[in-house]
Chains A and B, each alone.
Chain A
Amino acid sequence: MNWIGICGYDLLLPERGVCALVDGEQVALFRTYDGTVHALGNRDPFSGAYVLSRGIVGTRKGEATVASPLHKQVFSLVTGRCLDEPAVAIPVYRARVRDGAVQVSVSVPPSGARAQDRGLVSVGG
């Protein structure tokens, strides 16, 4: 497992995202209200633009979500699945906080994650 340090945890605003460049991948990092950090692909599969880190974070039926800032499709922060169009999903990466720093692992992408646009993404533990 290859954990890469990104930034201080305090740089993440509650319920807002930032983007990090990790091994050439754009990773969107979100801090939800309960303090959890989520890491997902930054690319919006509907528009092709790298913008998901700039979406509004919220919940849908209790599940943490982000809405694309371009056309408002909502994605689960937990599974990466698009809740408005279940056939579409974005990659989910592992993220953790160690000694006040946010770390991300993109070295073992979940299956199909690099294909990015489609395909179910499983989150490894």
Chain B
Amino acid sequence: MRKIVVAGYGPAAHRLVEALLERDFDGTITVIGEEPRPAYDRVALTSYLDGVSAEELSYPVPPGVVTRLNSRVTGIDRRARRVTVEGGEPEPYDVLVLATGSRPFVPPVPGAGHAHVYRTIDDLDAIRAAAEGATDGVVVGGGLLGLEAADALRGLGLRTHIVEMSPWLMPRQVDEGGGAVLKGHIEALGLSVHAGSGVQEIVTDGRGKVTGLRTPDGTLVEAQIVVFSAGVRPRDELARECGLAVGERGGVVVDSAMRTSDPHIYAVGECALHDGMVYGLAGPCFTMAEVAAERITGGGAAFGGADLSTKLKLLGVEVAQFGAMEGALDVTYMDPVGGVYKKLFISDDATTLLGGICVGDASPYGTLRSYVGKPLPAPPADLLFAGGGVQLDLPDDAQVCSCNNVSAGAVRAAIHDQGCADVPGVKACTRAGTTCGSCVPMLKQLLEKAGVDTGKGLCEHFAHSRAELFDIVRVRGIRTFSQLIAEHGEGRGCDVCKPAVASILASLHNGHVLEGENAALQDTNDHFLANIQKNGTYSVVPRIPGGEITPGKLIVIGEVARDFGLYTKITGGQRIDLFGARVDQLPEIWRRLVDAGFESGHAYGKALRTVKSCVGSAWCRYGVQDSVGMAIALELRYRGLRSPHKLKSAVSGCARECAEARSKDFGVIATEQGWNLYVGGNGGFKPRHADLLAADLTGEELIRTIDRFLMFYIRTADRLQRTSAWLESLDGGLGYLRSVIMDDSLGICADLDAHMERHVATYADEWRATLEDPDKLGRFVSFVNAPGVPDPSIVFATERDQIKPVVMS
């Protein structure tokens, strides 16, 4: 069995391992990494300082892969095919892959040892610790990584200075004009830019504490933190020491198969030097990993260099560059007031697009990048003005996703040949859009152009999506299904549209689900306010808010279960489910429960189910907030809220997260300062950890934010779309959600708030209301012509001292 050893455990190493496993590599894989954690997403590194945890940033270790963390390869014995590992056993290999990455370049100036760098989670921890009590920070380097670091310092509340040697910022991506516009944006945010400058020394006081940075012209920039972010150098020491070919300016020399000068050793990622180039962007590094995996498993893939086009948003400013940065002709659009600069480079005969630069508005990037080296698809002025508005047919070889090197043709193939019918499908099939996400709008366009009906219409009776129907019902004040289908649909509905419309009517008007015509729209669960089971009996779940229950109420549940002979099981949501009730027993069961102070738990509805909690600060020695109290408050606030799908929630009283809040649609985790709110989590078929929406909220802020999150979801989600899928389908994702419900970018927050207030004010327990209404109660019979007769088809056996359904075949 072949054994692969990977030296280094960053994103490129992770992708290599994934790619090997996808190709059914059946040997053993050992990954040796010096950091204390597996590979993590460095593109999103800055989010760590916003509260995203190291675990969330980390890529999961694929099953079967051996990892040696906190370890470093110290030498390569090529003849014995063995690497030595610091403080551990040597590791023999058949194939060795160097994925050692790069290290930040720190210029040898006096005091440099006191400066920070910005590359790993440990670096960020050190910067965060140093920021305590500091007022000013300097970043040396005004390129992509430098601005990223500057954003981080600013996020830590420091006055931030940027020192750049070139005369303007981001010299690799923009020209002087673009640099000037970029500088305007950044200074408007309160950062100071020292371009055309440099570092003479890091100034410290007598005790080695940083007090500032001196530039070559003698200016002192006062600061307590200095971060070097002025480029990286490949880590090629291992290769150098064992005699592999390395480049003059560093980097392990590889051929197009990613093989070094030793055929048993490959190199991928930032440490590799291919055709005189070292690549620092995620996209090319991933491609190298794929090529190496393909070669190791016997394929013939080749790395042919990579497009260095980039589009990014730094400090809130969009910057993009594609193709060449010069040309015989150029066309420039500049709006100094709006802070927009766009430039196209064109061949001397004005027919071929050579490249372009965008600052402040990168909308032309997605389409135009694919046209580099090809005839201009429209007059340059149109392309610059209309930006992304021009709808162009992308050629098949146009690269759509640069992070994962996916072409328009590959996306089309996924749509046509593999039947991908939506963005999540295309993502899963091609990996496009799974790294930085900037190409998702293009994926959507390709789906639309391919004529894929992205499932907008609900069913044969309505050509509208659920979100559209919601707006129609809301704006037109429609109160019945009959009116809606007569005016906006056709036929008489079905099991798809009827419950969906019933849910919309319930969300908007909060009336009883069995009132009038609505009763006929409900599926059997809502119709009998209980959950149907395989033999046609139902189960009953009383609400137990937050999972807190008195012994007296617990005894009532036990007595009811005993008296009606129900199968009893504790649910995952900290409630008790009572199984095996016939429809004619449901009112009797509920009369006992309601009399004892219980109400519907809505286990049968597309509605809030449960808000789980841990025991919290009242009892737990680790708890920092009253998680049970908060869970009860949330459960009582949102009980009965009908939504596109079920809603689950949980509140944990500390970061140990015993309530598993991050697997919920909205989860709350207590902090010393307040509450962190996570949204879009899911267990089930496709598990997803919830994303941090906002941190350290007060109780009041927490509730207002959840109010808006839920109402926005209810208004805009598709039928049966859980919050996780909804969040992934939002253009702009979490950032967009934040802008809508926290910054009120659509101006709808007052409306969302009022809608939730209406829900809370008009909530009534639907089981109590049913028991009080003889008309509704009359429907709870097994046989309309023999009301007292139990259904003879319902038969039970006994298992572990409880009933179990037997279905006659």
A residues engaging B (CB < 8 A)?
6-7, 11, 13-16, 18-22, 26, 29, 32-33, 43, 47-51, 54-62, 64-65, 67, 69-70, 72, 74
| A49 close to B495 (CB less than 8 A) | no
Cα(A7)–Cα(B785), bound, Å: 6
Interface residues of B in 521-566 (CB under 8 A from A): 521, 523-524, 527-528, 532, 534-536
Specify which of B499, B520, B528 lies most central, judged by the most chain A CB atoms within 10 Å of its CB: B520
Contacts of A62 in B (CB 8 A): 491
The size of the chain B interface, using a CB distance under 8 A, is 34
| A57 close to B520 (CB less than 8 A) | yes
**Could you name 29 residue pairs across A and B whose Cβ atoms are closer than 8 Å?**
A6-B785, A7-B784, A7-B785, A11-B778, A18-B784, A19-B783, A20-B786, A21-B786, A21-B789, A43-B793, A47-B807, A48-B807, A49-B535, A50-B791, A51-B524, A54-B527, A56-B493, A56-B523, A58-B492, A58-B494, A58-B497, A59-B461, A59-B492, A60-B491, A60-B494, A61-B491, A69-B532, A70-B534, A74-B494
Interface residues of B in 758-790 (CB under 8 A from A): 778, 782-786, 789
Contacts of B520 in A (CB 8 A): 13-16, 57
Contacts of A15 in B (CB 8 A): 492-493, 520
Contacts of B784 in A (CB 8 A): 6-7, 11, 18-20, 29
Contact of A50 among B499, B524, B536 (CB under 8 A): B536
Contacts of B461 in A (CB 8 A): 58-59
| B494 close to A67 (CB less than 8 A) | yes
B460 beta carbon closer than 8 Å to chain A? yes
Cα(A16)–Cα(B520), bound, Å: 6
Contacts of A20 in B (CB 8 A): 783-786
| A21 close to B783 (CB less than 8 A) | yes
Contact of A54 among B521, B524, B786 (CB under 8 A): B524
Contacts of B460 in A (CB 8 A): 60-61
In the complex, the chain B residue whose C-beta lies closest to that of A47 is: B534
Given contacts A20-B784, A59-B494, A48 and B532 within 8 Å (CB-CB): no
In the complex, the chain B residue whose C-beta lies closest to that of A104 is: B785
Specify which of B520, B785, B808 lies most central, judged by the most chain A CB atoms within 10 Å of its CB: B785
B498 beta carbon closer than 8 Å to chain A? yes
Cα(A56)–Cα(B459), bound, Å: 15
The main secondary structure of chain B at its interface with chain A is loop
B391 beta carbon closer than 8 Å to chain A? no
B809 beta carbon closer than 8 Å to chain A? yes
B residues engaging A (CB < 8 A)?
460-461, 491-495, 497-499, 517, 519-521, 523-524, 527-528, 532, 534-536, 778, 782-786, 789, 791, 793, 807-809
Cα(A45)–Cα(B608), bound, Å: 33
In the complex, the chain A residue whose C-beta lies closest to that of B535 is: A49
| B495 close to A72 (CB less than 8 A) | yes
Cα(A51)–Cα(B583), bound, Å: 11
| A21 close to B534 (CB less than 8 A) | no
| B495 close to A67 (CB less than 8 A) | yes
Contact of A16 among B497, B519, B783 (CB under 8 A): B519
B807: shortest Cβ distance to chain A, in Å?
5
Cα(A88)–Cα(B808), bound, Å: 18
| B783 close to A55 (CB less than 8 A) | no
Contacts of B793 in A (CB 8 A): 26, 43, 49-50
Q: A13-B519, A43-B793 are in contact. List 9 more A-B contacts (CB 8 A).
A: A7-B784, A11-B784, A15-B493, A20-B783, A20-B785, A47-B534, A50-B793, A56-B493, A58-B494
Contact of A21 among B499, B532, B785 (CB under 8 A): B785
| B494 close to A19 (CB less than 8 A) | no
Specify which of A20, A64, A74 lies most central, judged by the most chain B CB atoms within 10 Å of its CB: A20
Cα(A51)–Cα(B523), bound, Å: 12
Cα(A51)–Cα(B497), bound, Å: 21
Contacts of B778 in A (CB 8 A): 11
Given contacts A11-B784, A57-B520, A51 and B494 within 8 Å (CB-CB): no
Contacts of B535 in A (CB 8 A): 49
10 closest A-B pairs by beta carbon, nearest first, are A67-B495, A58-B494, A69-B524, A49-B536, A56-B495, A18-B784, A59-B491, A54-B524, A51-B536, A50-B793
B249: shortest Cβ distance to chain A, in Å?
65
B422: shortest Cβ distance to chain A, in Å?
21
Cα(A13)–Cα(B515), bound, Å: 12
B789: shortest Cβ distance to chain A, in Å?
6
| A56 close to B534 (CB less than 8 A) | no
| B534 close to A19 (CB less than 8 A) | no
Specify which of A7, A20, A54 lies most central, judged by the most chain B CB atoms within 10 Å of its CB: A54
In the complex, the chain A residue whose C-beta lies closest to that of B532 is: A69
Cα(A45)–Cα(B113), bound, Å: 78
Cα(A65)–Cα(B807), bound, Å: 25
A120: shortest Cβ distance to chain B, in Å?
22
Contact of B498 among A6, A58, A72 (CB under 8 A): A58
Contacts of B495 in A (CB 8 A): 55-56, 58, 67, 72, 74
Given contacts A15-B520, A49-B534, A56 and B494 within 8 Å (CB-CB): yes
Cα(A74)–Cα(B498), bound, Å: 14
A38: shortest Cβ distance to chain B, in Å?
13
A8: shortest Cβ distance to chain B, in Å?
9
Contacts of B782 in A (CB 8 A): 19
In the complex, the chain B residue whose C-beta lies closest to that of A72 is: B495
